[in-house]
Chains A and B, each alone.
Chain A
Amino acid sequence: QKEVEQNSGPLSVPEGAIASLNCTYSDRGSQSFFWYRQYSGKSPELIMFIYSNGDKEDGRFTAQLNKASQYVSLLIRDSQPSDSATYLCAVKQAGTALIFGKGTTLSVSS
């Protein structure tokens, strides 16, 4: 069964610190990788996607992909209290729908 694994947390970091969120996936055929942010009671919103090995930066967010290790991560620099949410890792093979992990809850304290 295709799986996406995340540490459920909570991950607690002080304001201004770097938050590191990790995700592993079981299917080596996975081609696209996504990070969604979900505030309590709200729908997920896309914050990053990555297709190739290496790093991809967008503002305070950096996604990292290592296909050989089947590992994808999200770094949030200069964490803010407004970053407190659940972060969902999602993985996709060609021609299929996204498979989501359970999410990691991030708490940023001021």
Chain B
Amino acid sequence: AQSVTQLGSHVSVSEGALVLLRCNYSSSVPPYLFWYVQYPNQGLQLLLKYTTGATLVKGINGFEAEFKKSETSFHLTKPSAHMSDAAEYFCAVVRSGGSYIPTFGRGTSLIVHP
């Protein structure tokens, strides 16, 4: 079985500050990893993904994430927060092999203060 833990249901930062959203996963086999963003009253949109290859992945809107196998982590970062980054962020894992059932974390709400 696989699981995803997102530390902190809410993260609050000032505009211009570093954004760090944490995601840890458990999987017995190499996973595929995703970050999605959800703006109010909308569906989810892909921010970035890791499948194979380079462990530092760059996504849209200046976000990036690093796959650290030894730490089973896939934390999302952005050097400088913008007001428009305020949204709900979800980390997701899909196991390689098997039935490819996705598992989502519970989400982290990013609050950006002016």
A binds B: no
A residues near B (Cβ < 8 Å) are none
Interface residues of B (CB under 8 A from A): none
